Structure 1
């Protein structure tokens, strides 16, 4: 591909959202919150560590119960599902039925467990669990906000704990990762390669 060939690129109209016109890779997580007498769980893909310390954040809209629940209770959980949990993860995105709580309708039937340090649920079959206290909500990204939390507890499945750099490729081949391909697709990542950092590189 000749990156200098202008015919290789198509300009996008930035007066509208550009994200529907190409693919990007993102993690797929399930955020758990306390809601009323029950709980809520919702999948999120605009999610990431915030820096190299123990902070995690994701994009949400104030119109969603996840936002209002976190603003009220000041805590949330994050579950990273195994690839074979995709369908169950998708079920947590089902819309609510009017007059019936999402917990009674959907969440109570999903395989979940209580978090250890906060009053939320975690996806039982996940390879990474994070328990977070609200750090900061940043509003104003159009109709969206960034919710960030301090990680106060974390648990990783033994098969996904990094042990040796020499074994990383084989470990990921045996224990793949679930990724969301925005918008509307997913991938199971099992083939990986060492990144060619330049000599002397420091993050």
Structure 2
């Protein structure tokens, strides 16, 4: 049988390429303290930094989140439940020049205070992290990577991985919420065991 021919198209790297195809990403809400109020910012360029308890996300000095973290030295991370798309979307609302986003939008969202820092979580989330600022790496164009050391972590009971549970059944019952960049989202319920090579070690 003749092998299928795959046709690739070159992308113009003089401009950002990321809207040229779809990519799967997590979607989290980063919680920070902002003056006398709070801020919640959706981020999809986010995730673990290595295999130890570090978490990072991409941000820009143009956003309040960047300056909030530098000032307070902490942030929270909320992984939203699949049915919280409206709340997650509202958190992306632009702030008013006079009225803060907290007074304008966030007071309408289901938020809960973190245990060890003056910041908020999205109440309807399955994984919550409280992070102390570790390192900020500037210089990725206009963007930066903000990293934190996880000091407190909580997972919703039904989302915790336990050996006695069937993983596929667990994800059917309690699916994951992912962002399909750019501009789409999905609930993940159907998954497969990854075919790792024999004796594979990370």
- What TM-score results when the alignment is normalised by the length of structure 2? 0.97
Q: Which runs of 5+ in 2 are unaligned?
A: none
Match of 1:33 in 2: 32
4+ residue segments displaced more than 3 Å: none
* Contact 1:172-1:191 within 8 A present in 2 as well: yes
Q: Which runs of 5+ in 1 are unaligned?
A: none
Task: Provide the rounded CA distance (Å) in 2 between the counterparts of 1:66 and 1:119.
Answer: 14
Task: Provide the rounded CA distance (Å) in 1 between the counterparts of 2:174 and 2:116.
Answer: 27
Pick closer, same or farther for the CA change 1:18–1:99 going to 2, 3 Å.
Answer: same
Match of 1:47 in 2: 46
Higher helix share: 1
| RMSD over aligned Cα atoms | 1.3
Aligned pairs (5 A) from 1:1-203: 5=5, 8-164=7-163, 167-203=166-202
Q: CA deviation at 1:16?
A: 1.0
Q: CA deviation at 1:97?
A: 1.4
* Contact 1:2-1:8 within 8 A present in 2 as well: no
- What TM-score results when the alignment is normalised by the length of structure 1? 0.96
Task: Provide the rounded CA distance (Å) in 2 between the counterparts of 1:192 and 1:117.
Answer: 35
